[in-house]
Amino acid sequence: MSGIYIHIPFCHSKCAYCDFFSIPEKKSREGFADAVSKEWDMRRHELSDSEITTIYVGGGTPSILTPGELEAIVSPIPKSSLSEFTVEANPEDVTAHWVSSMRSLGVDRISIGVQSLNDRELAAVGRRHTAAEALDAIETILRGGISNISADLIYGLPGQTIDTWRDSLERLLQRGITHLSAYALSYEQGTRLYAMLMTGKIKEIPQEVSEQMYDMLCKYTTRRGFTHYEISNFALPGKHSRHNSSYWDYTPYLGLGPGAHSFDGEMRRVNPPGVAAYIAAINSGKTFYTVEEETTTDRINDLIITSLRTSHGLNQEAVEKIGGSKSLSELRKNADPFISSGRLLCTDSTMRIPEKYWLISDAILRDLLLE
């Protein structure tokens, strides 16, 4: 099995915290859909005739495309074996007609960027929608017949408090969503939010407040029947993101569009950012990607980082399969102090970080990585 990721780099405007590749919607949009379709035809062989089980259209803001543009992109991709077809959307783009169009294309899951249900917090990071519009969009999707809805929230926003975080969390979980992705705000260099922080226009919330918000997140989702299956992801039974899970369990996937990443089980490829250059290259019959050279140690470290973000943890046999018994012995040696302290649970076949330590998992992972 394998997945397809399609990166749509267009946005109405850039959110203050965003460091993903995106550009204004009208810039270089002409010819984009046709180029992505051509790239699929050029690169489909990389999946070695593996059944395509998931499609994920992300960005950027995929809901910015017309239904016709999205159809031109996805129509050549075989869908007979699909178990999940996700499209990301912003609330301001969701209409009854848009939902109906998505259903006609075979989309069965919508990932909606809510981020907060507090208008002041939304305005502080440049979101274009209001809390009421976000909730209306969810209702529109449900009425339109798509019941599998994932929503994004951010904690640690400028001006956010424990009370406003609780309010966003409680109200969103009551709206019939099946999946929640909740992220701690990060200040990435090159973003407007980072510049505001450096110039003193905003202040980062204290670490202890962020930890309280995360603890509240875990407790409230559990009460609602959600399973915490990855550091930032929570799902009702059977509603975990099948596509995103492929990134964490080494399932091959093909990334189409500028800024997209691919992994065929052995090699990683990256399409550089740049829409005009991407369209020109594809139209001239050339691939656009560069190859990320990885050593055996790099591959094992990738596996450690991705697997230990999840409730399933790291399969030790997979480490041995890639690097042999020597690599597995080095990993186990690195793991011993964390096993002794309870920050890492280990069986004969797996290692995993307990949920209560997920918020500090980066510190654990740094010391587990092979050299």
Q: What angle do CA 42, 45, 48 make, to 5 degrees?
A: 165
The per-residue pLDDT for range 318-328, each reduced to its tens digit, is 999 999 999 99
pLDDT, mean of residues 35-56 = 94
Please determine, for residue 308, whether its predicted confidence score (pLDDT) is greater than 90: yes
Note the pLDDT of residue 97: 97
* Lookup: tokens for 237: 């039974």
Q: In percent, how much of the chain has pLDDT > 90?
A: 83
Please determine, for residue 160, whether its predicted confidence score (pLDDT) is greater than 90: yes
Residue 43 CB contacts under 8 Å (≥ 6 apart), including other chains? 254, 256, 262, 287
Task: Check if the beta carbon of residue 255 is closer than 8 Å to that of residue 271.
Answer: yes
Average pLDDT, the chain: 94
Please determine, for residue 343, whether its predicted confidence score (pLDDT) is greater than 70: yes
Where does the chain show beta strands of DSSP type E? 2-8, 10-11, 23-24, 52-59, 84-89, 109-115, 149-155, 179-184, 227-230, 233-235, 253-256, 261-263, 268-270, 290-292, 314-315, 345-346, 350-352
Please determine, for residue 20, whether its predicted confidence score (pLDDT) is greater than 90: no
Q: In percent, how much of the chain has pLDDT > 70?
A: 99
Distance between alpha carbon 71 and the CA centroid of its chain, in Å?
22
Note the pLDDT of residue 24: 77
Residue 180 — φ and ψ, nearest 5°?
Answer: -130, 130
Note the pLDDT of residue 226: 98
Note the pLDDT of residue 194: 85
The per-residue pLDDT for range 209-253, each reduced to its tens digit, is 999 999 999 999 999 999 999 999 999 999 999 999 988 888 899
Please determine, for residue 107, whether its predicted confidence score (pLDDT) is greater than 80: yes
Q: Locate all alpha helices (DSSP H) within 83-241, ordered by sequence.
A: 96-104, 119-124, 131-143, 162-173, 192-198, 207-223
Please determine, for residue 92, whether its predicted confidence score (pLDDT) is greater than 90: yes
* Lookup: tokens for 43: 């690169």
Please determine, for residue 371, whether its predicted confidence score (pLDDT) is greater than 70: yes
Q: How far apart are CA 308 and CA 345, in angstroms?
A: 11
Beta pairing, strands 290-292 & 268-270: antiparallel
The per-residue pLDDT for range 165-175, each reduced to its tens digit, is 999 999 999 99
pLDDT, mean of residues 97-105 = 97
Picking from 272, 354, 343, 348, the residue whose alpha carbon sits closest to that of residue 309 is 354
How far is the CA of 195 from the CAs of 29, 187, 202, 210, in angstroms? 29, 9, 9, 21
* Lookup: tokens for 239: 């509603």
Note the pLDDT of residue 25: 67
Note the pLDDT of residue 37: 96
Task: Check if the beta carbon of residue 2 is closer than 8 Å to that of residue 263.
Answer: no
pLDDT, mean of residues 138-146 = 98
The per-residue pLDDT for range 21-44, each reduced to its tens digit, is 888 766 678 899 999 999 999 999
Note the pLDDT of residue 18: 83
